[in-house]
Amino acid sequence: MIEDILNFLILGSIQGSIYALLALGFSLVYGVGGILNQAHGAFYLITAYIFFWFYRNLAGIGLVVGIIVGLIAVTVIGGLVYILLVRPLKDSHVGVVIVTFAFAFFMEQVVKVVVDSLYHGMPYLIEGYFDFFGVNVYYHYILIVVSSLSILTFVILIINKSKVGKSIRAVAQDSEAAELMGINVDRILAYTLMISGFLAGVAAILYVPMDIVAPHIGWGILINSFSIVVLGGLGSLSGSILGAFIISYANAFTNFVLRMPEFSALIPVIVIVIMLIARPRGLLGKKEID
Amino acid sequence: MRLNLKLKVKFKEFPGYLNDWVHTFRGALTVVLLILMFLLPFGNQSPYVLGIFITFMIYTIFAASWDFLAGIVGQVSFGHAMFLGVSGYVTAYLIKYMSLPWWISLLFGAIIAVIFGLIVGVPALRLKGPYLALGTLSMSLIMYQLFLMGSMAIWWEGLFGTQLFGAEGVSGIPRLSPDPMVEYLITFIIMCLSLFVLTHLAKSNLGTIFKAIRDDETGTSASGINTTKYKIIAFMISSFFAGVGGALFVMHFRGVNPGIYQPLYSFYAIIIAALGGLTTISGSALGAFVFIFINEILKFVKDIPLIEHSPIGPLMEPLFIFSIFLILVIRFAEHGLLQPALERFKEVYDIILGR
């Protein structure tokens, strides 16, 4: 019993910190540019596959090279998605949604063609574990929580303290006024997509060793990010972090305490439906969805 | 009352009205293509060719229902596969376990899809624009998970003694008719009826309200129209036709499994409608034709030894090609590929007629 509860707390926190990274990026892109990025799961997918490819084909240093190349690639792809696909269609919300959806689909096909469509596993970045009241706590778990929380803090500090962050907040408040004040709105929006891609990439590298690498993983990530952001409030950064932990603990609760892992897949949609009926603006959101 | 009058006027001018329509470019093209399609099974009875055309017609109905919702009412759904799936499962279940005739099952399937559309639509339509897209996408993924669940399968089997949930799905359903020609003609009639009803709904008074909602929702509700009510009506109409498509789909492929709920089929509807041009409901017929045609060509191209062993061999996946297609169409050609092509064609037609 105590082991179940410990498992629930430990794995809930791990998943929570991963989802906080994912949801923060998703919410940032929406909050600043009003772009609902359907390719968010594809960012995760791309990094996971680059990481996996280097691990499989470069013995020894593959993991390190994979992490570096994967993070750089996903950041660049985030910028390219904005410049090539989103910017030309910025006036039409539906166009942005369809084109990013098509991009996500495209990436799923690319990994199928370039790698294969099988399921793969990855080793933990740090081997070894210690015993904690009968529960194995892997050092990798600690790595996940520490690195994702520090990256979260870093990104939030950038947004709140730096000059770029000031421009980002200005564009989020009123992009027309920001443009008149001499801020290059396009560049800021490209930055937000790059930050969101980077965060999704970090999440992929940390979480893939505990999960699987398969072509369809992007969709689950997208749905989870969306449900978290609906729960926390669209465009609210603190709301998305809070939502990430709530959803992850709910997930871990069904897995380890109720022992019904099949039903944890239903949590996101139940959350979406309840929130839409009861409180459409989310827990910490300021305005209604429109 | 007014509708009655309108119908009467149309009816009185019936031959002339039809005559005028046939003499327009669109009318002439439609009539010629429909006659060609009607005559096809009398000329070529190979089950392979007829099968391709039946698939094409089923996709047309499905994509037209998506296009009605997205193009006319402006509500983009990314989870349209769930209506296909719900109706498909109901139809399969009724045919296999209740031994009902196909047309009753088809009607039931479509009606259940409408009810399902109502259930999904009420919470989903609180979302606007892009959120509706993501909301419906997540609902279809949840349906996928639900139907894949092993425990649901055991529970259902214990309760009713039949197999519905689970990865195997329902299989071994007879086709509409053992004769491919009869199946072709029935599907053809259903497709014509669906396209006729959808295009006329889009032109009717109801369609005017729908278009007003698409163009300016705030303005429409300020004019005293209950937009939520009409959006739900539109959702139900669209899910009805998607349900008809789903029932035909399941009967043609002789089975159904949870894979029907994947984003893949929603993607098919979007790419077909985008190829044909959004807001042109009958355009999805042309889009579906191009889609199926390219699909079949790629199958041949892939088997050419020279290409199969070259580096571009694995790139000949239809989905790979179509996702690039969709990106390019949305990015560079807002009106689809076929709409501008048709307009070019129309100029030639006008020159020939000396207009």
Please name the residue of chain A whose CA is at the shortest distance from the CA of residue B318.
Answer: A109
**Minimum mean pLDDT range among A21-30, A91-100, B182-191, B283-292:** A91-100
Can you give the pLDDT at residue B334?
Answer: 67
Residue A40 · residue A276 · CB < 8 Å: no
| Number of domain units in chain B | 2
Residues of A within 8 A of B66 (CB-CB) are: none
How far is Cα B233 from Cα A153, in angstroms, rounded to an integer? 47
Tell me: the pLDDT tens digits for A238-249?
888 999 999 999
Can you give the pLDDT at residue A91?
Answer: 76
How far is Cα B295 from Cα A57, in angstroms, rounded to an integer? 34
Whether B225 and B285 share a structural domain: yes
Q: Is residue A264 included in any domain, yes or no?
A: no
Tell me: the pLDDT tens digits for A74-87?
999 999 999 988 88
For residue B323, the enclosing domain spans 44-353
Give the position of tokens 């959006």.
B231
How far is Cα A56 from Cα A62, in angstroms, rounded to an integer? 7
Question: Is B151's CB within 8 Å of A99's CB?
Answer: no
3-class secondary-structure state, position A120 = strand
Can you give the pLDDT at residue A289?
Answer: 44
Can you give the pLDDT at residue B167?
Answer: 75
Whether B148 and B235 share a structural domain: yes
List the single best residue of A45, A99, A109, A227 to mutate versus B (max B Cβ within 10 A).
A109
Dihedral angle over CA of A267, A270, A276, A279, nearest 10: -70
For residue A27, the enclosing domain spans 2-8+17-215
pLDDT in 10s for each residue of chain B, 355 residues: 555 666 666 666 666 666 666 667 777 777 888 888 888 888 877 888 888 889 999 999 999 999 898 888 888 888 889 999 999 999 988 888 888 888 888 899 999 999 998 888 887 777 776 678 778 888 888 888 888 887 777 887 777 777 777 777 788 888 877 888 888 899 999 999 999 899 888 888 888 999 898 888 888 888 888 888 888 899 899 999 999 999 999 988 888 888 888 888 888 888 888 888 777 787 888 888 888 888 888 888 877 777 666 666 667 777 888 888 888 888 777 666 666 777 777 777 777 776 5
Q: Is residue A263 included in any domain, yes or no?
A: no
Measure in Å the smallest separation between the Cα of A271 and chain B Cα atoms.
11
Whether B261 and B114 share a structural domain: yes
Residue A213 DSSP label:
B
Amino acid found at B224: G
Whether B271 and B175 share a structural domain: yes
In the predicted structure, residue A278 carries a pLDDT above the cut 90: no
Residue A51 · residue A204 · CB < 8 Å: yes
Q: Is residue A249 included in any domain, yes or no?
A: no
CB A216: neighbour CB atoms within 10 A? 16
How far is Cα B344 from Cα B347, in angstroms, rounded to an integer? 5
Give the position of tokens 């410049």.
A83
| Strand ranges for chain A from DSSP E | 129-132, 135-138
Give the percent of chain A with pLDDT over 90: 25
Question: Is A99's CB within 8 Å of B274's CB?
Answer: no
Can you give the pLDDT at residue A190?
Answer: 92
H-assigned helices in A233-266: 237-252
ipTM exceeding 0.95, yes/no: no
Can you give the pLDDT at residue A290?
Answer: 43
Whether B168 and B278 share a structural domain: yes
Size (chain B), residues? 355
Can you give the pLDDT at residue B58?
Answer: 92
In the predicted structure, residue A287 carries a pLDDT above the cut 60: no
Residues of B within 8 A of A219 (CB-CB) are: 141, 263
Whether B21 and B83 share a structural domain: no
H-assigned helices in chain B: 2-12, 14-23, 25-43, 47-67, 81-97, 102-124, 130-148, 150-160, 180-203, 205-215, 217-222, 227-253, 263-276, 283-303, 305-308, 318-332, 338-353
Question: Is B126's CB within 8 Å of A103's CB?
Answer: no
In the predicted structure, residue A232 carries a pLDDT above the cut 90: no
- Nearest CB among B74, B134, B327 relative to A99 is that of B327
Whether B85 and B222 share a structural domain: yes
Whether B232 and B107 share a structural domain: yes
Average predicted confidence (pLDDT) for chain A: 86
How far is Cα A58 from Cα A60, in angstroms, rounded to an integer? 6
Report the alpha-carbon angle A43-A227-B152, nearest 5: 105
Can you give the pLDDT at residue B13?
Answer: 62
CB B48: neighbour CB atoms within 10 A? 10
Can you give the pLDDT at residue B44?
Answer: 77
Chain B touched by A38 (CB under 8 Å): yes
Question: Is A98's CB within 8 Å of B270's CB?
Answer: yes
**Residue B325: C-alpha distances to residues A175, A177, B86, B173, B188 (Å):** 32, 37, 29, 34, 28
Give the percent of chain A with pLDDT over 70: 98
Please name the residue of chain B whose CA is at the shortest distance from the CA of residue A38.
Answer: B134
Q: Is residue A56 included in any domain, yes or no?
A: yes
CB A111: neighbour CB atoms within 10 A? 24
Question: Is B127's CB within 8 Å of A289's CB?
Answer: yes
Residues of A within 8 A of B121 (CB-CB) are: none
Can you give the pLDDT at residue A195?
Answer: 93
Whether B92 and B162 share a structural domain: yes
Can you give the pLDDT at residue B153?
Answer: 77
- Chain B residues with CB under 8 Å of a chain A CB are 70, 74, 76, 78, 123-124, 126-131, 133-135, 137-139, 141-142, 145-146, 149-151, 263, 267, 270, 274, 314-315, 317, 319-320, 323-324, 326-327, 330-331, 334
In the predicted structure, residue A149 carries a pLDDT above the cut 70: yes
Structure tokens at B219: 């303005």
Burial class (CB in 10 A: 0-12, 13-18, 19+), A264: middle
How far is Cα B251 from Cα B174, in angstroms, rounded to an integer? 7
Residues of A within 8 A of B326 (CB-CB) are: 98-99, 102, 105
Question: Is A109's CB within 8 Å of B319's CB?
Answer: yes
Please name the residue of chain B whose CA is at the shortest distance from the CA of residue A108.
Answer: B320
Size of interface A-B (CB pairs under 8 A): 114
| Number of domain units in chain A | 1
Whether B144 and B106 share a structural domain: yes
How far is Cα B103 from Cα A204, in angstroms, rounded to an integer? 49
